[in-house]
Structure 1
Amino acid sequence: MSVNATDEWAAEACTLPTVEQPLRRAEFDDLFAHDVVGVRPTSPRELTLELRPVPEVAARAADLAVRETGCCSFFTFALTMTEGRVELAISTAPAHEAVLVALQARAEERVGAGT
């Protein structure tokens, strides 16, 4: 599968059935558009998404992260809630940096698009 910000960002290592991949992308796009308020790369292999500090948003992000690790085991997710902030850190191994770059670009394109 190709890796670019506008169409596909799933890596060939993703085991999610092809027919389900557009649905998962749509779930991420919805999270980016409605619940992400900031995108911050913290290293070449880590990206932090600042989420709206709402319990339902944290729960939705956690659910999506758990399901994503089931098919894309090269991702690691860490959900942090502190001082009224909710952040989702996404990291990957060096072999999948391009996937993270594409995910970052997709998130940046869509932040606030749903408001």
Structure 2
Amino acid sequence: MNDVLDSVTNWLTVPEAAEELNVPLGRVRRMLEEHQLIAARRDGVLKIPAEVIVDGEPLASLQGTMIVLLDCVLSEQEAVEWLYTFDDSLPGTPMEFLLKGHKSAVRRLAMLLA
């Protein structure tokens, strides 16, 4: 089985993310609950893709995009996987386009899931 999250090359544990963001562990957990950050279980450990922390801050476009995906009745895990799944209409992964600053194109595509 091909796991789309295998394309993520650098994962951070919650304590590592707290250090990277220079915030307490509880704040990272709150950022995850509020969808400012995303995470997935990797080898049984909750991990955050390092690329969603940009210049010491959560990727600004991530929270709104996650809310759109969750409103489309995806689970958090499915939403994270969708962000890393190649889409011909972009072309690339939604995460690649978020990182390039193209949140509108990604959110339009996400709304088609509803």
Q: TM-score, normalised by structure 2?
A: 0.26
Q: Which has the higher contact order (CA 8 A, sep 6+)?
A: 1
Decide which structure has greater strand share. 1
Structure having the higher helix fraction is 2
Which TM-score applies when normalising by structure 1? 0.26
